Structure 1
Amino acid sequence: MPAFAQSGDAAPSSGGQATDPNAGAQPAGAQIDPNAATTEESGDIVVTGIRASLASALEIKRSTIGVVDAISAKDIGDFPDANIAESLQRISGVSIDRVNGEGRGITVRGLGPEFNTVLLNNRLLSTEAGGRSFSFDILSSELITGAEVYKSSEARLQEGGIGSTVILRTARPTDRAGLHLAGNVAGRHDNTSDKITPFASGVLSGSNEDRTFGALVSFVYDKRKFNLTNISTDGWITNQTIDTNGDGIKDRTGVALPRTTNFTATESERERIGGTFAVDWNVSDTLKLKLDALYTQQKVQSRTNQLGYYTDPDRITTATVNENGTATQFTVLPATATAGLASDNIVSTAPQDARTYQIGFNAEWKPNDDLTLVFDAAHSNSRDAADQLFYVVGTRQVGVTPTFTLDGPGGLPSITNTLATNDKSAPRLHCCSERGGRNGDTVNQGTIDATWDFGGLLNKLQGGALFTNRKKITVSRESPEPLGCFYCGYQALAPASLFTDFSANVQGQKLTWLDYDAAALVQYYGSAAAVNQVGGTSQDAIDARNRFLAVYAGNNNSLDPIDRDRGSGTVRENTYAGYLQASFGGDMGAGRWSAMAGARLIHTDLYATGYSVTLTNIIQNPADPTSAVPVYSPTVAVDAENSYTYLLPTLNFRLDVNDALSLRLAGSRTLTRPTLSRLGLSQDFTFRPPNSNTISGGNPYLKPFLAWNADASVDYYLSRTSYVSLAGFYKKLENFIISGQQPEEYFGLTFLANRPFNSQKGEVYGLEASAQSTFDFLPAPFNGLGVTANYTLVKSSIRFDPSLSNQTFNVEGLSDTANFVMFFENNLLQLRGAYNWRAPFLRQTFGPQSEPENIFGYSQIDLSGSIKLNSNVSFYAEALNVTNEKFRSYSRFKERLITVSDQGRRITAGVRFNF
């Protein structure tokens, strides 16, 4: 086998981990030339570009005792993809969840975002979402220089990742001596929009020649405009009894119907701003100080126009039902002036204003050659504040018999035989509300680590302690009652002057319906002309109108949301952890073995506060059987406490049979804490009569997920940048959290109550196969070719069975994945093509309408290329989702479509420079 060419000091073969992501790899800024030759003085092979990234990442994999994969930027500001999650999915066993076509969360070996701990420079970063999972879409890849995915655990790693522990790293100012400037300026076009939006990033770093002091500042600005369309059903209501023959007799039971049929067009603008600041000061040979700061802000402005038809099972007159009990076609009775199907013209918004910052300080002290002490402290805060609009005006379908048709398994639904959807003389006010919330997350963390180097059989001993204080605040907001549903039942005719035509091509269907200005509608909403159309001349009707007007006036003549106790709450969590880990190593014949054994002891105290409320009455709306007005008691503050302690042992073993072949074995116990949103006390009611009422609440007494893990792998290194690997994994999980669903009746209405609790056990197991090769041995120009490929097979002892309506637990997110990347590079040109595939999978056991949600298989092709103008400047272009693949989901069976939506094709072209 060809020997590995090394540059600088090689990473230790039995140290447990590469504390420096570039340890044993090329130093930052080194150039790798695929046509380069070996020098006589050093024997080093100097490599640039993609090969430099592969070599650095592969060295991390090779020098770590456990099972780890890595990605390394070939230079500052040059991460392989625009989104970090998009890059991570190239790693075997990693797949991503997309929102609006951008990767947001990662799934590792079938375990979703909540099961993967993501650390920034080894620190926990707060998140703007309601749970713990890291939102990759808020952090630009331009700020990141490397990422490591630890699939097997170590005692030194922060607990929380049953699936994996992901460590993201930012650039250090003392990576290179001197003054350096790197930048990227580009324009981006989304095929769903006719706009070109800007992208810019820059990194400025400076260090003295001996690299004892340096400072670095970076920034990124990224804007995207896109217009996405989708057709959706909001899930399927099941066990309905309907008329299939048109004779007025309900002769078929157990039928599934779409909750709604929606045609949606959304115009969005996303703006991301971020930056980092870092200072390194090597005070002496024994003391090193580091200061880091990160700030990222993501703002989204989004406006949605939707045409919707709400299904009322009682008004179906004829229907066709397949063998699965799915209604594939049905006809609806003509509406009357006060009852029946309406075409809803919906205007809604979904803004986001998410801000995250982190500041951290690190001190490394070596009192002697054998002992290293590291102290680290960090503070992180995130918040997301956004209020959403949801306005509906509708037209009763009087005199026509609308027909719903489902176009085959996985096909699109359509509605025919309807009134004109842009008749401005017919729409009536239905419901209008504004709602939203405030999410806040604060993380304070401190660690101290000690490492003793011995150099013998016991070559390293590590120990340390960690304290984490985390506080998650959720504030629920909503328009005050009775503003939201005063007109429910289409009780007030709206003037035609409020409306304009809105046209869209929604997944191949050209449609036109009504648009309106939300502010103008709200003005009319509170006018005497509208209010006096509701009710009659009875004293109760007069009193109801007066109550509405009083609340409307007291709310600044608006539907602005106000903070409410229901649904609001706080979760505080203190975690104490200590660990001890020993690394061993020695020769074994012609090879060498390395081992690592340790244990981590963790204790968690949890304190939750919220509000208890009693439902004292439900007032049915005689004008609208699909709405009701709740009456609540005053809220009462409640709190709860919980605590738990666990010991998490780990064992890792690596045998380097020779320079090319390595065998690994690993075993561990890992832990993932429940999602913070599930730990809250408050419960909330959702009213959608006759059979879509729900109650949701949290449970502060939940225990963490636990897993016993076993890993084994065989790695064969063909060269410094080429290898093949086969890995197997097994996880035995317990304390799985499920949503206990049971019917509860309140004042004649049935609610499906969803409350989480620990219940199930399960097993997850599978295989990962990966290969990577550069074809340096071929004659030019073919020596510039390279390829990486991987396939992951994931199975579980618990399998989703669509025929079982009472199945309450599944291991969600399990799916096979595959990735294939081919590239070419020489001194002038770089080309890369990537294919990513994920098999169909179950996203939620209880999704829309408390039915399962499954995701159809998805594949995506990405292309990129760059050409050098000179050694400092290059032009590049990339295309994401070249074939414009769509996202599709379904309920229990494939014909029960939930949504089909665009993802968008994005093309970026720009210039990179490095001085």
Structure 2
Amino acid sequence: MRSSLLLSAAVLAIPAPAFAQQALEGATPATGQSAEATADQVDESGAENEIVVTGIRASLARAAEIKRDSPLVVDSIVAQDIGKFPDATTAAALQRVPGVQVTVGGNNEIVNPTIRGLGDILTTLDGREIFTTEGRGFAFQDLPAEALARVDVFKSNTANLIEGGVAGAIDLRLNKPFDYRDPTIAISGKLNYASNAEKLGPQLGFLATDRWDTGIGEIGALINVSWYDIKFNRPTNYVAERRAGSALGQPGVAVPISTGGLNEYGSYSRPQVNGSLQWQASPELQVYADGMYTAYRGKFTTAFYEYQLFNSDSLTSVTVDTNCFDARVNSAGFNPNSIELAAGNFTTRNLCNMTGGTFNNTSAFTSSQAKNNKTDSYLGAFGLKYDNGPLTLALDASYQKSIANNENFIIDIGKKVGSVTVDFDNPDHTATITAPGNPMASATGFAFINSLFQDYVRSEGDLFAVKADGAYEVGSILKTIEFGGRFADRGALFEQVQLGVTPPGGSGANLVSSANLPSDFLVRAPGIAQINLGAPFLIPNREYLLSDEGQSTLRSFFGAPAGRPAFDPSRRFEAAEKTYAGYLQAGYEIPLGGITIDGKVGVRYTRTDRDIAGAAFVTPAPTPADPNPARVLTPYAASTSDDDWLPNASARIQFGGGLQARATYSKTIARPSFGSLNPGLNYIVSTNPNIRNGGSGGNPDLKPQMSDSFDATLEYYFKSGYLAIGGYYRDIKNRVFNDVTAETINGVVYNISRPRNVGEATLKGIEVSGQTFFDFLPGDLAGFGVFGNFTYADSEVGGGDPMAGYSLQGVSKYNFNAGLLYDRKGVSARVVYTYRSEYFDENRTGSGDVRPVDQANWLNYVRPNGRLDFSLAYDVTPQFTLTAEGTNVLRSRYRSYINDSYFIRDTRTDDSVYAVGFRARF
């Protein structure tokens, strides 16, 4: 990796935005201020804001103003007050934006926002590209919502915006000192209660800012600090892939190879600090230096609990339903892989879906994956803005670095249990699993099985970027000429070791009680609702597995090398990427009688030069002298260059009376992730006989995704709100999918997952949104309001691709938010229901699941899902506010199935979180 060129300066860093920020002309100050319209804040011209309203109403009004005045199709979220974003996390707030869909992560946080179902999003912080470690994307949860003043979701593009998002771009904005006229101190605190974990977690925030007139001009300073520590618990039940039940005396039944669950529980914390200095050196010149540090610390357990159903002596009391089908079956009862299919090594058999049965003398195991994950991210910037008459110039230099170190130490223990009864037939589409006496909660009979598995990852990324922007006001029809360029030097490094060592004598040969381990080596893990009614089960102690003593003792017992293993050279890649970009854009305004037409026309040119290098173990071709050659570590390198022209055009027609329409076109691009480009290969022989050998690899020949993007809207703004309807169309080339194919390596067949480009795909749909307050109602009833949005997204893979005719991965066809609001006399309240329809999140076509012979693709679908959240705030005084809130109060769950709804798969119990808190401002 390159040295930290600007790291010594990065203790100050992130910026008053350059012109990529100023695409939202006529909106709020580009630096992003609170939605509270009070006398201690000023607008961009320095004039005192009129005291009007505060809280939710002001926040929504500001967001509507941004939407109305932007030359782009954009939706925004504005903080209701300092440190008061409308939702607990950034990603949670984004799910309220029309067309934005999210998922729930393993620690119950809302993660992975997508725009109209597409995750290829460029994320910027104050107009500056930001990412997490070696990836292209940004982990939104790493920046606490308390630090934000505003978020803009761009759904169309202009030439001055940084390229990199086919789906769009999301810009996160921090507070700046010149947003405030008077000295300001804001303090916030909150106690979060997670219902699954049944524990409290603290959350704190602090902001201080001031500005001074000096002999060298006005100077402003701001510092913002936040921290929280959250306990979590997320149980999941799963039903694994199906296999013909011949080995259990049930050849006509599709039987799951295993069933069980996992519970991910522990805690995570996120400290964050950002600071800003602004210096108005003269009326024309402003200089700034800003900085940010964010971190993630997670120590948690993934506790597995599985019954290996095919490792049973017999299967009795079998029940099936009427869902029967003809399936291809290989000699092991699985769907044949491509090699077996080509050779004809299968039979065709009629199978019926199993809905229940009892497995006798069954193998079972539990596992403790002890995880200790750390991420540190830094960003720094220095720049200036010059504004003199018709000419505006900006120069910005920034450096950022993001580093992650993840540790995962795994021990599996198992035993035989007398019987396990399963029931997969219920209206809730979940499993019920019962083992009499709950044997997995008893320490008796546990042995070490499978392997001691050590997984260590270090990943990092850095970026040095310089950006220059300019604009010249011409006047008349040609309103502005905008121009600029950007240079970016990006680096990425990934290295990993995955080391599995079987116990001495083999799996199951050593009882846990025979090892020299402390008495508390086995601890109780929280239960899983679908297994023995949620009773706890025993697993190895996370704290012991993460301790130096514990790791040393277990390595010695398993015969693994002492000490932490070195990184595997075949699991390493390093990338360097240089990007050069320039743009030219014209803003125009045409008065036509009582209407006005304005917009932008421009083009952006980019060139990307990329090098990626690593190594892989390759087996040479056999020779008579060496018929079984050993694997050889073979270096590899790949270099690519791309040149792209990205035109854009937009038009807005203002009819007067609050009615306007707009139409936009832009060509957008998303570069492949470095991990996807890495041609290295990682594979492993499964220690579980019921699970096939697997692995993953990259594809250095991946092309950037391209999209021709069209949007059109009709918008009506009135005193208390707005209504808007829009249509969109995306013609996407080189969309990236992951496929699983069978590959023979050293005579062993592995299911290898690799990314590839899909030739073409389309995404089209409609968005409807609106908000209003009922000012016409009498008295305090006038404080009520509503907001809502609905998105229809119709996607389809085209061409001759194997997925032709299917929707794009991750795209829900329907998505909506509906909210009831109240804001009056110091009371602000909100209740919001968010719904997402079915979508598929995994392509399992290359897996071993038995399936109907006419199914060319085999996909994992997520069932429709909705969440209800609320928030309440009361201003005790103008300076002190009490708050209460709840998320997922209806206990929404992720539930999935494989291709046909009767093949139930996962049920993940998302948490409900309640919080009480305060905000004070002086």
- The normalised TM-score by structure 1 is 0.85
Distance 2:555 2:890 in 1: 52
**Residue identity opposite 1:302 in structure 2:** F
Whether the 8 Å contact between 1:380 and 1:442 is mirrored in structure 2 is yes
CA displacement at 1:179 relative to structure 2: 1.0
2:307 alignment partner in structure 1: 309
Whether the 8 Å contact between 2:472 and 2:482 is mirrored in structure 1 is yes
**Residue identity opposite 2:384 in structure 1:** A
CA displacement at 1:267 relative to structure 2: 2.4
Q: 1:424 to 1:524 in 2, by over 3 A?
A: farther
CA displacement at 1:892 relative to structure 2: 1.9
- What CA deviation, in whole Å up to 9, does each residue of 1:475-516 have, x standing for no partner? 11233x6x3465543122231767656364422513343333
- What CA deviation, in whole Å up to 9, does each residue of 1:751-790 have, x standing for no partner? 2232222232111000001111022232211111111111
2:793 alignment partner in structure 1: 794
**Residue identity opposite 1:723 in structure 2:** Y
Whether the 8 Å contact between 2:612 and 2:638 is mirrored in structure 1 is yes
The yes-or-no answer on 1:428 pairing with 2:447 is yes
Q: Secondary structure at the match of 1:192?
A: coil
Q: Trace 1:146-545 onto structure 2 (pairs within 5 A).
A: 146-208=150-212, 212-233=218-239, 235-237=240-242, 240-243=243-246, 248=249, 251-252=251-252, 257-312=255-310, 317=315, 320=319, 322-323=323-324, 327-329=353-355, 341-366=362-387, 368-397=388-417, 400=418, 402-408=420-426, 411-416=429-434, 420-430=439-449, 431-479=451-499, 483-484=501-502, 488-495=506-513, 500=522, 502=524, 504-507=526-529, 509-517=533-541
Q: Trace 1:619-658 onto structure 2 (pairs within 5 A).
A: 633-658=631-656
CA displacement at 1:330 relative to structure 2: 6.5
Distance 2:470 2:551 in 1: 66
Whether the 8 Å contact between 2:300 and 2:372 is mirrored in structure 1 is yes
Q: Secondary structure at the match of 1:791?
A: strand
Distance 1:438 1:506 in 2: 32
2:899 alignment partner in structure 1: 892
Distance 1:529 1:434 in 2: 10
Whether the 8 Å contact between 1:410 and 1:896 is mirrored in structure 2 is no
2:592 alignment partner in structure 1: 588
- What CA deviation, in whole Å up to 9, does each residue of 1:364-390 have, x standing for no partner? 123x41111111111111111011021
CA displacement at 1:314 relative to structure 2: 9.6
- What CA deviation, in whole Å up to 9, does each residue of 1:810-865 have, x standing for no partner? 51111111001221121221111111111111112249958522222121111111
Decide which of 66, 70, 75 is 1:64's aligned counterpart: 70
The yes-or-no answer on 1:812 pairing with 2:809 is yes
Q: Trace 1:5-16 onto structure 2 (pairs within 5 A).
A: none
**Residue identity opposite 2:764 in structure 1:** Y
CA displacement at 1:694 relative to structure 2: 2.1
CA displacement at 1:808 relative to structure 2: 10
Q: 1:435 to 1:376 in 2, by over 3 A?
A: same
Distance 2:774 2:102 in 1: 30
Distance 2:629 2:230 in 1: 43
CA displacement at 1:149 relative to structure 2: 0.9
Distance 1:273 1:870 in 2: 29
Q: Secondary structure at the match of 2:183?
A: strand
The yes-or-no answer on 1:86 pairing with 2:92 is yes
Whether the 8 Å contact between 1:738 and 1:809 is mirrored in structure 2 is no
Seq. identity, %: 25
**Residue identity opposite 1:387 in structure 2:** E
- What CA deviation, in whole Å up to 9, does each residue of 1:344-380 have, x standing for no partner? 02111233211111111221123x4111111111111
Distance 2:309 2:761 in 1: 38
CA displacement at 1:17 relative to structure 2: 2.8
Whether the 8 Å contact between 1:25 and 1:55 is mirrored in structure 2 is no
Number of residue equivalences: 835
The yes-or-no answer on 1:30 pairing with 2:37 is yes
Distance 1:519 1:350 in 2: 10
Whether the 8 Å contact between 1:874 and 1:912 is mirrored in structure 2 is yes
Distance 1:684 1:760 in 2: 26
Q: Secondary structure at the match of 1:47?
A: coil
**Residue identity opposite 2:910 in structure 1:** Q
Distance 1:342 1:891 in 2: 25
Whether the 8 Å contact between 2:142 and 2:294 is mirrored in structure 1 is yes
Distance 1:124 1:42 in 2: 32
Distance 2:512 2:435 in 1: 24
CA displacement at 1:467 relative to structure 2: 1.2
Query: Which consecutive residues of structure 2, in runs of 5 or more, have no partner in the other structure?
Result: 1-18, 40-46, 326-350, 622-627, 849-857
Query: Which consecutive residues of structure 1, in runs of 5 or more, have no partner in the other structure?
Result: 1-11, 33-40, 336-340, 532-547, 618-629
Q: Secondary structure at the match of 1:700?
A: coil
Q: Secondary structure at the match of 1:771?
A: strand
**Residue identity opposite 1:855 in structure 2:** V
**Residue identity opposite 2:717 in structure 1:** Y
Distance 1:805 1:406 in 2: 31
Whether the 8 Å contact between 2:131 and 2:137 is mirrored in structure 1 is no
2:768 alignment partner in structure 1: 769
Whether the 8 Å contact between 1:17 and 1:64 is mirrored in structure 2 is yes
1:9 alignment partner in structure 2: none
CA displacement at 1:674 relative to structure 2: 1.2
2:741 alignment partner in structure 1: 742
The yes-or-no answer on 1:118 pairing with 2:123 is yes
Whether the 8 Å contact between 1:242 and 1:313 is mirrored in structure 2 is no
CA displacement at 1:807 relative to structure 2: 7.2
Q: 1:520 to 1:291 in 2, by over 3 A?
A: closer
2:713 alignment partner in structure 1: 713
Whether the 8 Å contact between 2:33 and 2:149 is mirrored in structure 1 is no
Q: Secondary structure at the match of 1:702?
A: coil
CA displacement at 1:528 relative to structure 2: 12
1:621 alignment partner in structure 2: none
- What CA deviation, in whole Å up to 9, does each residue of 1:675-726 have, x standing for no partner? 221011211112225661223111122110111111110000122x400000
- The normalised TM-score by structure 2 is 0.84
1:46 alignment partner in structure 2: 52
Q: 1:418 to 1:524 in 2, by over 3 A?
A: farther
Decide which of 832, 845, 869 is 1:862's aligned counterpart: 869
The yes-or-no answer on 1:753 pairing with 2:752 is yes
Q: 1:260 to 1:571 in 2, by over 3 A?
A: farther
Distance 2:403 2:490 in 1: 13
Whether the 8 Å contact between 1:342 and 1:396 is mirrored in structure 2 is yes
Whether the 8 Å contact between 1:177 and 1:208 is mirrored in structure 2 is no
Whether the 8 Å contact between 1:28 and 1:175 is mirrored in structure 2 is no
**Residue identity opposite 1:718 in structure 2:** F
**Residue identity opposite 2:675 in structure 1:** S
Q: 1:909 to 1:43 in 2, by over 3 A?
A: closer
Structural RMSD (CA): 3.3
CA displacement at 1:200 relative to structure 2: 0.8
Q: 1:406 to 1:117 in 2, by over 3 A?
A: same
- What CA deviation, in whole Å up to 9, does each residue of 1:7-59 have, x standing for no partner? xxxxx9xx953276337999975249xxxxxxxx9996722222221221111
Whether the 8 Å contact between 1:492 and 1:530 is mirrored in structure 2 is no
Distance 1:147 1:890 in 2: 35
Q: Secondary structure at the match of 1:62?
A: helix
Whether the 8 Å contact between 1:674 and 1:705 is mirrored in structure 2 is yes
